[in-house]
Amino acid sequence: MTKAILLAAALSLLSTRAPAQNLPADKEASIRADLTGQIDAMKKQVQVMVDNVFSFGELGFQEFETSKYLTGLLEKEGFKIERGVAGIPTAFVATWGQGKPVIALGSDIDDIPQASQKPGVAYHAPLLDGAPGHGEGHNSGMPLNITAALAVKKVMEREHLQGTIKLWPGVAEEQLGTKAYYVRAGMFKDVDVVLFAHVGDNFRVAAGPGNQTGLVSIEYTFKGETAHAAGAPWRGRSALDAVELMDVGWNFRREHIRPGSRIHYVITNGGDQPNVVPSNATVWYYYREADYQHVMDLWKIGDDMAQAAGLMTGTTVTSRLLGSAWPGHFNLPIAEAMYQNMGKVGLPVWSEADQALAKGLQHELKVPERGLAAKIPELRRPQPPADDDNGIGPIGGGSDDIGDVSWVVPTVTLNYPSNIPGGPGHNWANGVSMATPIAHKGVVAGAKVQALTMLDIVLHPELVQKAWDYFRDVQTRNTKYQSFLRPGDQPAIWLNQKIMEEYRPKMKALYYDPSKYDTYLEQLGIQYPTVK
C-alpha cells in the first residue's frame, strides 16, 4: 500500500469511530490504573460506610437512617439530591455531571427480619434478640457504588470528560416494593445504562434471561363478624377460617401447576384471642413464575381462591398489591465489559483470619468447608430457552425488582465477593461477614469493577450503542414490558413501621461510632474471627 492509501485508511477508521471520548490507548491505561489506585486509597472510607449501614439494620421502607447517611455523604461530594422520589420517603436520586452518557448506579439498602447477628462470629449470636439485621448483605452495595462514583467523578473532572452519574437505592427490595414504581415515575427515562450491584460470595455477572423469577406480592384481607366463640359461635363469621381455607386450597392446588411456580404465604393477622370469632384476618402471598403471563395466571388463581374461601365462610375479601417484580434480562455487551474488568481486578487477597471465619461458619452450617471464593466463575451467557414440550417451565428461584429496570434500560447486576459461600440466604448466617474485612475487601474490589465499567461507558460511546442494539434487537424484540402495577397501586410505605418502632430505640445504642472506634468489630469488642 502507498502512504496515501494508508493515510486514507487511517482517516476512515478514525471517522467511523464514535466521536468524543475515545482516548489513546496508553492514556486510557494510565487513567484506569489511577482509578483503581484511588479506590485502594479509599479503603478506610469503605469500611466506615459498610459498618455504618450494617449497624443501622433497617427493614424495607423504613431505611431512614441509611437514606439520611448516604444522601449526606453524596451531598457533601457535590451531588444534587432529589429525596422522596416516586412517593417513597426513603428513596432518592443523587446526580452529578452533565450530558451523555448517563450512568445510573443502584443497590438495595433494606435488611431481613430477625436476622440480627454479631459480625465476625461464626455461629448464631444476635446483637439484639429478635431484631432485624443485614442477613443478606444489603449494607454493602451503596457503599460500593458511592466509592466507584467518587473515584470516577474525580477522573472525569480532571480529564474534562463528559457524562452524568446518578445513584439510587433499592428501597424495600425484600418486599419487591419500589423499582416498578421508580420505572413508573420515569426515573430511568434519560438513562443510558444501569449498573446494579448486589452482594454475593464471588464475582459474578450474567447476561440474558433466566436466573430470576417474576413475582407479585398480594395481601388478602377477609372480613366476617365477631361473636362469643363458645356462647354464640353460630352468630359469628370467621375471617380466619377463610384465610385457612384459602391456604388449604393453594396447598392442594400446588401439584397441578407448573413445578417451577413458587407460592408462599404468611398470616399477618389471624385474629385477637380464641374466645372471639375473628372478624378480620389477613394472609400475604408471593406468586412467582418465569414470565409475565404465568405470574398473571397465578394471581388469577389466587384471586379465585380468595373469593371461594369468602363464599365458603360467609365473609368478604379485599386485596391489595404490596410489591412486584419482572424477571430480569441483563445486557450482554455491558456484562461482557464488566466480566473483563472482573478478570483484571481479580478476587481480594483473603487473610488467614478471613478464611478461619469462613470455614468456621461453614462448619457450623454443615456445608463443605471450602473457605472464601478462590476462582471467578465464567460469565453466564444468555441461555437458550429450555426444552419445554411438557409446559414444565423453568425451575423456581428468587426475584429482584431490578427486573423491571432491566426492561426499560440496558442493565447488568454486579455480584461481588463480600459474603461467605454456603449460607442459606435471608438468615443470620449471611450477616456474619458483613461488617468484617471480608465485606470490606469485597466492596473495594467490587468498586473497582464498577468504576472501570463506568469508565468503559464514558470513554467508549460505541459500547452504549451496542448495549442499546442488544436491548432493542434481541431482548425486547418479542417481549414488551408491561408493569404489574395497576394505575391505582401505590408503594406500601407503611410496611415494617411497627417492627422498626419496636426495635429502633434499642438499635440506636448499637449504631457504629467511627469517631470513637476504628471499626465496628472494635466497638462491639469482638475478637476477629470468633469461631467455636
Query: Beta strand 329-330 with 208-209: parallel, antiparallel or unpaired?
Result: antiparallel
| One-letter identity of residue 217 | S
Q: Which residue's CB is nearer to Zn ion, number 250 or number 286?
A: 286
- The phi and psi torsions of 439 (rounded to 5 degrees) equal -65, -45
What's CA 177's distance to the chain center, in Å? 11
Closer to Zn ion at the Cβ: 362 or 413? 413
Residue 108 or residue 404: which is nearer to Zn ion going by CB?
A: 108
Q: Which residues contact 174 (CB under 8 A, 6 or more apart)?
A: 59, 60, 110, 111, 112, 136, 426
User: Is residue 372 left, alpha or beta, with left meaning phi > 0 and alpha meaning psi from -120 to 50?
Assistant: beta
Q: Name the residue nearer to Zn ion (CB basis): 39 or 59.
A: 59
Q: How far is the CB of 73 from Zn ion (least distance, A)?
A: 21
CB contact burial 228-265 (16+ within 10 A = b; e otherwise)? ebeeeeeebbbbbbbbbbbbebbeebeeebbebbbbeb
Site size for Zn ion (CB under 5 A): 2
Instruction: Please report how close the Cβ of residue 319 comes to Zn ion at its closest, in angstroms.
Output: 26
290 vs 270: CA distance, rounded Å: 31
* Number of other residues whose CB lies within 10 A of the CB of residue 479: 14
Nearer to Zn ion (CB atom), residue 197 or residue 337: 197
Is the CB of 21 or the CB of 139 nearer to Zn ion?
A: 139
Q: Binding string, 51-90, against Zn ion, x = CB under 5 A?
A: ----------------------------------------
Q: Which of residues 91-120 bind Zn ion (CB under 5 A)?
A: 108
Interacting residues of 191 by C-beta distance below 8 A, sequence separation 6+: 102, 103, 104, 166, 409
By beta-carbon proximity to Zn ion, the closer residue of 161 and 443 is 443
Burial (0-12, 13-18, 19+ Cβ within 10 Å), 340: middle
Q: How far is the CB of 54 from Zn ion (least distance, A)?
A: 15
315 vs 419, beta carbon nearer Zn ion? 419
What does the per-residue mask of binding to Zn ion show for 133-172, with x meaning CB under 5 A? ---x------------------------------------
- The answer to whether residues 376 and 203 touch, using CB atoms and an 8 Å cutoff, is yes
Residue 173 CB, shortest distance to Zn ion, in Å, is 5
Round to whole Å and give the CA distance between 167 and 517: 28
Q: Report in angstroms how near the CB of residue 136 gets to Zn ion at its nearest.
A: 5
What phi-psi label fits residue 83: left (phi over 0), alpha (psi between -120 and 50 degrees) or beta? beta
Nearer to Zn ion among residue 39 and residue 414 (C-beta)? 414
Q: Which is nearer to Zn ion, 136 or 219 (CB)?
A: 136
Please state the separation of Cα 514 from the chain's center in Å.
Answer: 26
Q: Phi and psi for 334 in degrees, rounded to 5?
A: -70, -40
Nearest distance, CB of residue 110 and Zn ion, angstroms: 8
Q: Can you spell out the DSSP letters for 453-505?
A: HHHHHHH-HHHHHHHHHHIIIIITSS-----S--TT----TTTTHHHHHHHHH
Query: At closest approach, how far in Å is the CB of 437 from Zn ion?
Result: 22
Residue 108 C-beta: closest distance to Zn ion, Å: 5
Measured from the CB atom, the residue of 136 and 456 that comes closer to Zn ion is 136
CB of 133 to Zn ion, least distance (A): 14
Residue 400 beta carbon to Zn ion: minimum distance, rounded to whole angstroms: 6
Contacts of residue 228, Cβ cutoff 8 Å, sequence gap at least 6 = 235, 236, 275, 276, 277
Nearest CA among 172, 66, 54, 175 for reference residue 116? 54
With b for 16 or more beta-carbon neighbours within 10 A and e for fewer, the 12-24 pattern comes to eeeeeeeeebeee
Q: Which of residues 226-245 bind Zn ion (CB under 5 A)?
A: none
DSSP, collapsed to helix, strand or coil, labels residue 192 as coil
Angle between helices 437-459 and 25-40 (to 10 degrees): 150
Q: Which of residues 209-228 bind Zn ion (CB under 5 A)?
A: none
Give the shortest CB-403-to-Zn ion separation in angstroms.
12
Nearer to Zn ion, 58 or 136 (CB): 136
- For residue 269, the minimal CB distance to Zn ion (Å) is 27
What is the dihedral angle through the alpha carbons of 372, 377, 380, 385, rounded to the nearest 10 degrees? Answer: -90
Q: How far is the CB of 199 from Zn ion (least distance, A)?
A: 7
Nearer to Zn ion, 112 or 449 (CB): 112
Query: Is the CB of 66 or the CB of 315 nearer to Zn ion?
Result: 66
377: cell is 466463575
**Angstrom distance (rounded) from CA 421 to CA 441:** 15
CB 294, min distance to Zn ion, A = 23
What is the contact surface with Zn ion in residues (CB under 5 A)? 108, 136
